[in-house]
Structure 1
Amino acid sequence: MRNAARVSAETLLILLLLYLFLELLGIAWSVLWPLVVALLLTTLTWPPVRLLRRRGWPPALAASVVTVLFLALVVGIVVLIAVPVSAQAGKLAQGVVDGIETVRDWASGPPLNISDDQVNSGLNSAVDKMQASVGSIANATLSGVSTVVNGLVTTILALFLMFFFLKDGSRFLPWLGRQLPGRLSTDLPEIAARSWNTLGSFVRAQAFVGLLDAIFIGLGLWIVGVPLVLPLAVLTFVTAFVPIVGAVFAGLVAVLIALVFNGWVKALIVLGIILLVQQLEGNVFQPMVQSRGLGLHAAVVLLAVTLGGNLAGIVGSLLAVPVAALVAVIWGYLREQLSDPPVEPDPAPGPAREEAAASE
């Protein structure tokens, strides 16, 4: 009973400390989130910086060039999506109008038999409800504007932090080792180095999965004959880094364009293609690639994403797998350090040992 009480008290103390740690993370999240984004971006941009530095480039110059090229790539992706869409804006608007008219004509016939008076009455009711909830709409709009502003600030901070990580990141671990006493000067830099490699594996795996999504969905859209295939494929790749919402948004855009330009039959075909690819990604591609790159079992990856989504929504889903991988890295290192070295067995008695004993 004493042992059970002692273990229970220690467990409660650990849970209390964990709760306080999570509360501190929530308080400092406005600073930690740009740091996390910067680390994720640094894992993508570090290989070219390392290559340039090995060729004799100064760290500041290599980091500056890669940062500028990264920004140019992001702007190019935005242009690649925006220019074709703007060129088709007139057709897209007319297609939306035609689609609404088609739905209205279908609803006016059997089996629904909705008359124009009923449609107008429904529209009037919707307008009245919108007018009654102007305050809520204004609050939601202000919240959306605040979210956009916070996103821009986070992006700018993350880019600046990425530049400094690229320029001075290689000096961080030696500096950390000099600041810590005793075994910590060896243990923490080693854990940080392993965690960095694991984080890089996660980002590369996510990019590979997004590339597979873009290729398969792009091929499906091209076969069906949906316009704007290249912008939709690029949008699919970019949104693959945002779990759940990214895939839903890209799929919704593709189905909407197919509905506007190709009709509801091909829109349903596109919806089926997207659902098939997303199922393959979530249940086959992503667990297999991430489990190999991170050293985690596919079931652990699925459970981590589910738990992270339930605890923290989109951000939790995004960070669940790397956090699980980092926990596995720390646990593996602690297990290596705490495990006893193997005991070598005594040699079996034989003629050599008997002769040595006789000589003694």
Structure 2
Amino acid sequence: MSVTLSSTRTRAALRSSARISVELLLVLVATAVALWVLGRMWSVVWPLIVGLLLTTLTWPLTRFLRRHGWSPALAASTVTVLFLAVAAGVVALIAVPVASQSGELSDGVVEGIQRLREWAAGPPLNIGDAQINQAFDSAVARAQDGVGSMVSAVVTGVGTVVNGVVTAVLALFLMFFFLKDGPRFLPWLARQLPGRLATDVPTVAERGWETLGSFVRSQAAVGLLDAVLIGLGLWVLGVPLVLPLAVLTFVSAFVPIIGALFAGFVAVLIALVSNGLTDALIVLAVIVVVQQLEGNVFQPMIQSRGLGLHAAVILLAVTLGGSLAGIVGSLLAVPVAALIAVVWNYVREQLSDPPQEPETDEPHASAAVPS
């Protein structure tokens, strides 16, 4: 009897395992199909994502104006124009000082190259001008041989710039419409969905919207912290263009990996051509320390508090997103993980049993008290 019971339990366990495996396989197949469709529609999805992120950044001001009697169209138009003005101001804040000191910087670059040649001509390298000229001629010959690949690279770069401009324009238009008609979206969505979905989907969408807002605000806080710390280091060392470099550091914080590398490279280059090799190495050390603190301490702590995710989960999400989709994957890894957590928490809330009140035969206390 015991053998028969054991074999019955074994077959039941195997059937349950097989059923769960098939369901998981179906979920994975559905996820793969959804990702494939998303990739085919990426030219539309990417401006939509950027527009949503910009909307989370500008919605608090729009909400303030609407609560003080502004019409939705006027509030959205005003905030959009202000956003464009701020973006143009940031560009001018970076470009104008650089243009005004371009002569000094170019002289510093020429002087740096001359120092490099003098250092290479001395011991222990002892590289003469003839060898340098020969190396330069060889580099020119290789560049001429690879002119075809250079042209294709330029064309690809132009196409990337054009796609970026188109994405930015679409994102701005979408941001305007989201600011104008955003509060009417959830009621409209509730009217379109049947049954319980009319309650579940808008609730999850509202929580997801709050999560995206927390992500953007936390990313801005991390970028501001980086800009202040690196800007202080540059100011102490007397590196020129401190304010443009700080603004560039803040803006580049929204682009993971590449943004930090680009801002750090620009800061080190300017320190090199203006203050010399020693200060450039100090600037490099300051940037490396700040970036390590940001990636391993500040960003996980701030985002874990704002998004309700553990710091280790954020680190793993950024690593996985970067390995799967590069820069875009790193940028979207944290908000996607937070949205998955929102959906999971809501599903867990709906599936959990409500607390049951203890049953008792005694009458309620209020019944024994005379009115």
> TM-score surpassing 0.5?
yes
**TM-score, length-scaled by structure 1:** 0.96
Tell me the residue number matched to 1:242.
Answer: 255
Q: Which residue of 2 aligns with 1:45?
A: 58
Q: 1:3 Cα shift?
A: 2.7
Match of 1:14 among 5, 27, 48: 27
Give the structure 2 partner of residue 66 of structure 1: 79
Greater displacement, 136-145 / 1-10: 1-10
Q: How does 1:105-124 map to 2 (within 5 A)?
A: 105-124=118-137
Which residue pairs with 1:189 in the alignment?
202
CA distance in 1: counterparts of 2:190 and 2:30, whole angstroms: 26
For 2:23 and 2:68, locate their aligned partners in 1 and report how far apart those are by CA, in whole Å.
Answer: 54
> How far is 1:324 from its partner?
0.2
- CA offset at residue 304 of structure 1? 0.5
Match of 1:171 in 2: 184
After superposition, what is the alpha-carbon deviation per residue over 1:173-208, rounded to whole angstroms, capped at 9, x for unaligned?
000001100000000000000000000000000001
Answering whether residue 40 of structure 2 is matched by residue 27 of structure 1, we say: yes
Aligned to 1:54: 67
The secondary structure found in structure 2 opposite 1:243 is coil
Q: Where does structure 1 differ by over 6 angstroms across 4 or more consecutive aligned residues?
A: none
Question: How far apart, in 2, do the equivalents of 1:43 and 1:5 lie?
Answer: 44
Q: Report the Cα distance in structure 1 between the residues aligned to 2:209 and 2:24, rounded to whole angstroms.
A: 30
The question of 1:86 aligning with 2:96 is answered no
Alpha-carbon distance between aligned partners in 1 of 2:258 and 2:231, rounded to the nearest angstrom: 19
Deviation at 1:218, TM superposition (A): 0.5
- How far the C-alpha of 1:341 sits from its partner, in A, is 1.2
Residue in 2 aligned with 1:143?
Answer: 156
- Counterpart residue type for residue 131 of structure 1: Q
Q: Does 1:295 align with 2:323?
A: no
Partner of 2:145: 132
Rounded to whole Å, the distance in 1 between the matches of 2:333 and 2:30 is 21
State the partner residue of 2:368. none
- 1:256 match: 269
1:72 Cα deviation after fit: 0.3
CA distance in 2, matches of 1:168, 1:8: 43
Residue 3 of structure 2: aligned partner: none
Paired AA for residue 264 in structure 2: G
Q: Which amino acid aligns with 2:239?
A: V
- Displacement of 1:2 after TM fit? 2.8
Deviates more, 1:162-171 or 1:119-128: 119-128
1:357 corresponding residue in structure 2: none
SS at match of 2:125: coil
Q: Unaligned regions of 5+ residues in structure 1, if any?
A: 354-360
Give the aligned residue type for 2:213.
Answer: G
In structure 2, distance between residues paired with 1:7 and 1:52: 52
User: Is 1:226 aligned to residue 239 of structure 2?
Assistant: yes
- SS in structure 1 of the partner of residue 255 of structure 2: coil
> Match for residue 166 of structure 2?
153
Corresponding residue SS for 1:56: coil
1:207 aligns with 2:201: no
Alpha-carbon deviation of 1:129? 1.1
Q: What CA deviation, in whole Å up to 9, does each residue of 1:249-302 have, x standing for no partner?
A: 000000000000000000000001111111111111100000000000000011
Q: How far did residue 120 of structure 1 move?
A: 1.5
- How much does 1:323 deviate? 0.3
Partners of 2:106 and 2:92 in 1: CA distance: 20
Post-superposition offset of 1:111: 1.7
Q: Is the partner of 2:254 in helix, strand or coil?
A: coil
Q: Distance in 2 between matches of 1:4 and 1:207?
A: 46
How many aligned positions are there?
A: 352
Q: CA deviation at 1:214?
A: 0.6
1:328 partner SS: helix
SS at match of 1:93: helix
2:318 counterpart residue number: 305
How big is each residue's C-alpha offset from its partner over 1:55-109, in whole Å with a ceiling of 9 and x where there is no partner? 0000000000010011000000100110000000111111111111111111111
Deviations 1:225-265 (A, max 9, x none): 00000000011011110011001000000000000000000
- Alignment gaps of 5+ in structure 2: 1-13, 365-371
3-state SS in 2 of match to 1:259: helix
Q: Choose which of 92, 111, 123 in structure 2 pairs with 1:98.
A: 111
